[in-house]
Amino acid sequence: MTPAADRPHTDDTLPNGLRLVAVHTPAAPLAEIRLVLPWARTAPRLAAAQRLLAACLGTGARTPGGRLRTRQDIADRAADLGAELSTVVTPESLVLSAGVLAEGLPGALGLLADLLLRPVHQEREIALAHARLPAPGARPLGRNLLRTALLTDAFGAHPLLAPPAPDAAAGPPTAADLHALHRRAVVPAGSVLLITGDADPRRTADTAAQALADWSGGPSGLVLPPFARPGPRPGRTRLTDPEAGQALVLTAGPAARGDAALHLAQLVLGGHASGRLARRVRDRHGLAYAVSATLRENRAGAWLETEAAGALGTADRIAAEVTGCLHELAADGPTPDEFERARAYALGFTRFALATRAEEATALAGFLAAGLPLHWLDDHRSALTALTPARVAEAAARFLDPRHTALATLDTPPAPPGPEPVLPASAPPEPVPHGHHPHETESPA
């Protein structure tokens, strides 16, 4: 498929602050809509309402004429248009998605406008959503607990790492609370709307602008601030948990956004099934059954994270092997075969990520929300093609050195030492067979 940036497209900022991008997708009978709202948990007091509002969006709205649309009415209207609506929450964003038959796009945009401009949060829908959500005070899973501890020690305290606040003493958020948060956070300023389809992009953009002309407000301020430190502080964090079902090892190393050489170094380390971590920690030593290396980026910062899970009691051994693997790759760089396999995997994955119209729309909306251009992935693919093993070795030496990496382990507490055996005072010494020294070993013969 022709890169999105090379196809006809529009990129406008509407008077209400909404960035609206329409991209022509040839020979596609479907239109894809992606609305990305800033949704970071920056204020603990809003956390419960944010979780609940995200779950309740799409459960009630009014038409411009004032008629109530229930959850079922909204589902029926979407079905009539050939549309499918969904909502996804990430650490930074709330994403409203819709795929719709091309002729149903104006109606889908009208339905979206109802949800954004005239929401109705009914108490029974709030109660149902609240019952389905996990309790805010629930004990976090071991992996989440360990990652929070690791990143807090590595980068400092941050809203991204703060535990969810429990519901207020008065109970879960009310309809009034959700309406107040909707007015503050579901706003156009700071948000991005992407639409792809076979229609003329200018006509598509004009239709969307007209449908959302009355939407106002923002920016919401629900945007992650940067970490206190640009890179992780090296160190070791140890957590113990008597109820841990497995040993876990996590590391956080430095990273740079969009660095193609670092991307390949990460893949060689553990970004695919034949990465070094898997071959060493899992296959050679049999210490871990799940091993990975991932580049993580958001507005707070960027870091290279490795993860390994194994049997209880093995966390220290796994940590030693992971550290050794980082040291070797940082010192020697990838082999020619590792370099070629990683580059082929990366290039194939960039094509696979855009294999369908829906996947392309989701990826493009994510690039735009992160402040990247439409052509970012194409530029990244070109950078991967131009890389050399020497350049990847330089990135490995800079970013993978374990001396610059924070490490955290989670395992069960060590068993307390048992009591020393005590022999009775009157116990006679063991007899020594005639002709044998007490420290000799008898021959099997």
For 235-246, give one letter per residue: b (16+ CB within 10 A) or e: eebebebeebeb
Q: Which two tokens stand for residue 241?
A: 């948990």
Contact 371, 92 (CB under 8 A): no
Q: Note the pLDDT of residue 426.
A: 44
Across 59-156, where does the E strand assignment appear? Answer: 60-62, 68-70, 83-89, 93-101
Low-confidence spans in the chain with pLDDT less than 70? 1, 135-140, 164-170, 415-445
How many Å apart are CA 362 and CA 421, to the nearest integer? 66
User: CB neighbours (10 Å) of residue 59?
Assistant: 22
Residues contacting residue 307 through CB under 8 Å, at least 6 positions apart: 143, 248, 249, 250, 290, 291, 292, 293, 294
Helix (H, G, I), strand (E, B) or coil at 68: strand
The tokens for 330 are: 């940082």
- Continuous segment of H or E residues that includes residue 56: helix 47-56
Instruction: Say if CB 372 and CB 276 are below 8 A apart.
Output: no
Tell me the angle at which helices 71-81 and 105-117 cross, rounded to the nearest 10 degrees. Answer: 160
Q: Are 232 and 252 in contact (CB under 8 A)?
A: yes
